[in-house]
């Protein structure tokens, strides 16, 4: 019998641009180099920081922080408006570089992606050498830096890309996996947020090595279905393939208001413009997805928030009425002034579901009260 060929060793790269928006801004305006600056909305218009320079981070500024709060921490902070067309152009340049090495690419956002170079012939098949070449090419051609993690799976590659930022390279070889993961803080596990981390810490579990002391049954008892995933990742096991054609699971729009909304009527007057924006965005993808649920998001002036959703069913009530009702119910949960409203829909991919029937949620005449 012919001898079976050994399985190909997986080589996954996670490429992540360093402070992407800020790096592009600094590239185009070198006077920003070394300064504390950010890309985001104006403080007086209830803006939020999208990303910030490493100099700003030293003062405690971080993404998703309210701009006024960032300025309190760092009074000299320069806040620039976003230039998404420029960032998208830089992202396209980066992806063109990625495609020189492999077609197995999973884009995660404008500034990061997974690359499977397991079968790539470049650099004698060395994932490390390919990572170095990609870093150099992005620096030379795009004018920014990226950090790259190289590992046998997606979980470890993503952890590695954050290990030596900025402009860093971290390689985890197969024989290093167990030792590396053993010392890894549980906060580094994909899917472990603040609440789960606190629950783990309350049980004395600080590292993946400590997590390994518990069986899948015990972890599922504490964390539900995520417990089994915790058990696997604490051992460095992650068999997920790259999603080469990432498909949407939802579509939403939201708006932060310059002044808080205090009453039910003030909230209801915002529904129509939000839904018109949502309907306009849905037009671009309406032939690819079916709508299964509608949902709303309400963020109060103390930054607490709540969401509410419901299944879509055929009835005679106009879609706007459903969203109005959902928003008021969500608002009543906190009954506080509102700084942000959001509306959205959950989507079913028609290409993979085999369902070609489209619920006519967005059969709107974009005028009068018939709009979404």
Residues 365 and 272 in one domain: yes
- Residue 16 known to bind ligand: yes
- The β-bridge partners of 48 are 66
3-state SS assignment for residue 7: coil
Q: Which of 26, 106, 112, 320 is catalytic?
A: 112
Active site residue 112: yes
Please indicate, yes or no, if residue 53 is contained in any of the structural domains. Answer: yes
Q: How far apart are CA 162 and CA 196, in angstroms?
A: 21
Flag whether 24 is in a domain.
yes
Residue count of the chain: 372
Tell whether 264 and 162 lie within a shared domain: no
Say how many Å lie between the first and final Cα of the chain, rounded: 65
**Number of structural domains found in the chain:** 4
The continuous run of DSSP H or E covering 245 comes out as none
Establish if 140 belongs to a structural domain.
yes
- What is the token pair recorded at 257? 């208001």
Task: Say if residue 254 is in the same domain as residue 344.
Answer: yes
143 within a domain of the structure (yes/no): yes
* Same-domain check for residues 125 and 74: no
- Model's pTM, two decimal places? 0.72
> Same domain, yes or no, for 201 and 305?
no
Supply the pLDDT for residue 226.
Answer: 87
Do 78 and 90 share a structural domain? no
Residue 352, pLDDT score: 63
- Same domain, yes or no, for 220 and 318? no
* pLDDT for the residue numbered 315: 63
Strands 12-17 and 112-116: antiparallel
CATH classification of the domain holding 349: 3.30.1490.100
Tell me whether residue 85 is annotated as binding. no
Same domain assignment for residues 25 and 128: no
CATH of the domain at 67: 3.40.1170.60
- Contact between residue 14 and residue 114 where contact means Cβ atoms under 8 Å apart: yes
Please give the average pLDDT of every successive group of 10 residues along the chain, which has 372 residues.
Answer: 63 97 97 96 86 95 93 96 95 96 93 95 94 98 97 96 95 96 94 91 95 92 89 92 81 89 94 93 86 93 89 77 94 93 91 49 39 34
Domain interval for residue 64: 20-82
DSSP 190-214: TT--HHHHHHHHHTT--BHHHHTTS
At residue 290, the pLDDT reads 87
Residue 175 is classified by DSSP as: G
Is 317 found in the same domain as 256? yes
Whether the Cβ atoms of residue 15 and residue 98 lie closer than 8 Å to each other:
yes
Q: What is the CATH number of the domain that holds 99?
A: 3.30.70.270
Q: What are the residue ranges of helices labelled H in 58-110?
A: 67-73, 84-98
Q: Which residue has the tokens 């690419």?
A: 105
* Same domain for 155 and 112: yes
* Alpha-carbon gap, residue 228 to 195, rounded angstroms: 18
Closest by Cα among 271, 267, 275, 256 to 331: 267
DSSP type of residue 6? P
Asked if residue 338 is part of any domain, the answer here is yes
Burial (CB count <10 Å: 0-12, 13-18, 19+), residue 325:
middle
Token reading at 29: 């305006």
> Across the chain, which distance is largest between two alpha carbons, in Å?
78
Predicted confidence at residue 350, as pLDDT, reads 80
């Amino acid at each position: 019998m012919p001898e079976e060929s050994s399985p190909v060793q997986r080589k996954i790269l996670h490429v992540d641009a360093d402070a992407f928006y800020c790096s592009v801004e600094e590239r185009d305006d070198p006077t920003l180099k070394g300064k504390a600056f950010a890309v985001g909305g104006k403080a007086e218009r209830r803006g939020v920081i999208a990303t910030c320079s490493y100099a700003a981070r030293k003062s405690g500024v971080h993404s998703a922080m309210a701009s006024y709060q960032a300025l309190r921490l760092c009074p000299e902070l320069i806040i620039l408006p976003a230039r998404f067309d420029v960032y998208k152009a830089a992202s396209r340049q980066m992806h063109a570089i990625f495609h020189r090495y492999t077609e197995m690419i999973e884009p995660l956002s404008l500034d990061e992606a997974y690359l499977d170079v397991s079968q790539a012939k470049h650099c004698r098949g060395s994932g490390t050498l390919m990572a170095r070449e990609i870093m150099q090419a992005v620096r030379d051609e795009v004018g920014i830096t990226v950090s790259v993690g190289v590992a046998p799976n997606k979980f470890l590659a993503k952890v590695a890309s954050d290990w030596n930022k900025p402009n860093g390279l971290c390689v985890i070889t197969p024989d290093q996996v167990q030792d590396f993961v053993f010392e890894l803080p549980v906060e580094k596990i994909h899917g472990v947020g603040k609440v789960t981390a606190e629950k783990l810490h309350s049980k004395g579990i600080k590292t993946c090595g400590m997590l390994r002391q518990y069986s899948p049954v015990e972890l599922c008892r504490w964390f539900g279905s995520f417990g089994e995933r915790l058990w696997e990742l604490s051992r460095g096991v992650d068999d997920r393939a790259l999603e080469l054609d990432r498909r949407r699971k939802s579509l939403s729009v939201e708006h932060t208001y310059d002044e808080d909304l205090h009453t039910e009527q003030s909230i209801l007057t915002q529904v129509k413009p939000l839904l018109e924006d949502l309907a306009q965005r849905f037009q671009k993808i309406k032939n690819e997805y079916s709508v299964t649920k509608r949902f709303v998001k309400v963020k109060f002036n103390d930054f607490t928030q709540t969401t509410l959703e419901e299944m879509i069913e055929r009835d005679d009530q106009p879609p706007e009425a459903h969203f109005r009702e959902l928003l008021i119910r969500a608002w009543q949960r906190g009954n506080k002034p509102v700084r942000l409203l959001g509306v959205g829909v959950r989507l079913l991919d028609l290409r993979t579901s085999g369902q070609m029937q489209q619920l006519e949620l967005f059969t709107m005449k974009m005028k009068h009260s018939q709009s979404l």
